[in-house]
Structure 1
Amino acid sequence: MIYEVRTYDLLPRSLSEVIKRFSEGYEDRKKLSEMAGIFYSEIGPLNQIVHIWPYDSADERARVRKEALSLKTWPPGIGKYVLRQIVEIYEPWPISPSLEPGEWGPIYEFRSYMVTVGRMGEYLSRWKTALPGRAKHSPVSVVMECDVGTASKLMHIWPYKSLDERAKIRKQAEDEGVWPPKGDPDMKVLDAMENKIMLPASFSPMQ
């Protein structure tokens, strides 16, 4: 299983039109393969959408994308609104659940970490130990490592019912000492961290 994560930075005040055109084009595109979800930024970088496409393999991705070029409605005619596209291929960690459709949000926190070079295995080990305790408070949607795109990058996505719920759960997990993952304090494992709050588009399989 791989996940193609496509991040588009858009022209100001173009989001509603982009979402509309994407929704219309997706009606035909989803007959070839369905996306896991499409989200737009609420807190963090403005005018941004992220859509995530699961594939069984790189070969399946190539085949489906080639077939999609024959569709009259795909790509969905949003090029003039897009300032920048970032395409990354991720592999989920062995401890990660799969992205599944359903009403998990509507608040989705996307967290991206730059892991210190050579320390991904150590960081995975820490997650293996800590995640069961953290998951008792709320589930993670996915934990995945970038394979093509940005080296040493980890992305994890957490759904919440509200920002208040997010704050409450994170405080509980920290107060109980189950999160964040712990390890040798003298061993550096992270170089940079960023997050953003995303909301699902109305037609996103993940809500």
Structure 2
Amino acid sequence: MRYEIATLTVRLGKAASAIAAIDAALKESGAKGRLLGCWTSEIGRLNQIFVLRGFADDVELRQERERMLASGNPFGCGEDVEALDFDSYAPFPFLPPVTPGKFGSVYEIRTYMLKHGGVPPTIAAWEAAVPARVALSPLVIAMYALDGPARFTHIWPFASLDHRAAVRADSVAKGIWPPKGGPQWLTGEMYSTIALPTAISPLA
């Protein structure tokens, strides 16, 4: 299983029309992969749309990437897209595939940069800690990047920002989170975006 996050930075006031275009474009006969999530940024860098898709394997992901790169109108909204970034990921192997559903009105997308060789020990630390952590609130996915610098991204749904704050405080107070041994593999460069699910998002 492979995942991709496409990040579209759109012109001011064009998010709604871009989302409608994305919906139509991903239903075209030539499109590959499965739409899993689509969010707009609420806190963090604004005017961004995040599209999470799942692919059966590297071949399918690469075919779809090449199709997108060859298009003069990616996602059907090229004229409104100021920047388009693609990130390819493999899931932490102990996690189940992403399952669409209604999990929260607020999603947090976090990316942590890793030191050299940090992927295996990070996966091991998370495998030990995630069962207790997801008892407090669900995890959509944790996945490591297959291109670019070493990093991993994790996506968490919450009922609200207050719920997020309460869960995070509770997990730290109980010693559940962060995963023991995990932080030592982080460079300290981290990014977080609070995003809201769009009407076309299977994850809502």
TM-score band w.r.t. shorter chain: 0.7 to 0.9
Return the alpha-carbon distance in structure 2 between the equivalents of residues 144 and 11 of structure 1: 29
Return the alpha-carbon distance in structure 2 between the equivalents of residues 140 and 44 of structure 1: 20
1:171 corresponds in structure 2 to 169
**Is contact 1:91–1:144 with CA below 8 Å preserved after alignment?**
yes
Greater Cα radius of gyration, structure 1 or 2: 1
**Is contact 2:121–2:182 with CA below 8 Å preserved after alignment?**
no
Return the alpha-carbon distance in structure 2 between the equivalents of residues 47 and 119 of structure 1: 32
**Is contact 1:97–1:140 with CA below 8 Å preserved after alignment?**
no
Q: Does 1:194 align with 2:164?
A: no
Return the alpha-carbon distance in structure 2 between the equivalents of residues 171 and 182 of structure 1: 16
Return the alpha-carbon distance in structure 2 between the equivalents of residues 59 and 107 of structure 1: 32
* Mapping for residues 13-24 of structure 1, pairs under 5 Å: 13-24=13-24
Cα-to-partner distance string for 1:27-75 (whole Å, 9 max, x where unaligned): 4359854311111101111000110111111212345567899xxxx84
Amino acid at match of 1:8: L
Identity %: 32
Q: Does 1:43 align with 2:43?
A: yes
* Comparing 167-176 and 32-41, the one that deviates more: 32-41
Return the alpha-carbon distance in structure 1 between the equivalents of residues 78 and 185 of structure 2: 41
TM-score normalised by L of structure 2: 0.88
1:146 corresponds in structure 2 to 145
Cα-to-partner distance string for 1:161-196 (whole Å, 9 max, x where unaligned): 1111111111111110110112298x4533311111
Q: Report the Cα offset of residue 120 of structure 1.
A: 2.1
Q: Report the Cα offset of residue 10 of structure 1.
A: 1.3
Q: Report the Cα offset of residue 78 of structure 1.
A: 1.0
Kindly report the root-mean-square deviation, in angstroms, between the aligned alpha carbons of the 2 structures: 2.5
1:121 corresponds in structure 2 to 120
- C-alpha distance 85-124 of structure 1, shift in aligned 2 (>3 A): same
- C-alpha distance 134-107 of structure 1, shift in aligned 2 (>3 A): same
Count of matched residue positions in the alignment of Structure 1 and Structure 2: 202
**Is contact 2:33–2:60 with CA below 8 Å preserved after alignment?**
no
1:78 corresponds in structure 2 to 77
Amino acid at match of 1:85: L
**Secondary structure class of the residue paired with 2:3:** strand
**Secondary structure class of the residue paired with 1:36:** strand
Return the alpha-carbon distance in structure 1 between the equivalents of residues 181 and 66 of structure 2: 45
Any gaps of 5 or more consecutive residues in structure 2? none
- C-alpha distance 56-102 of structure 1, shift in aligned 2 (>3 A): same
TM-score normalised by L of structure 1: 0.87
Cα-to-partner distance string for 1:59-103 (whole Å, 9 max, x where unaligned): 12345567899xxxx844311111111111100011223211110
**Is contact 2:6–2:85 with CA below 8 Å preserved after alignment?**
yes
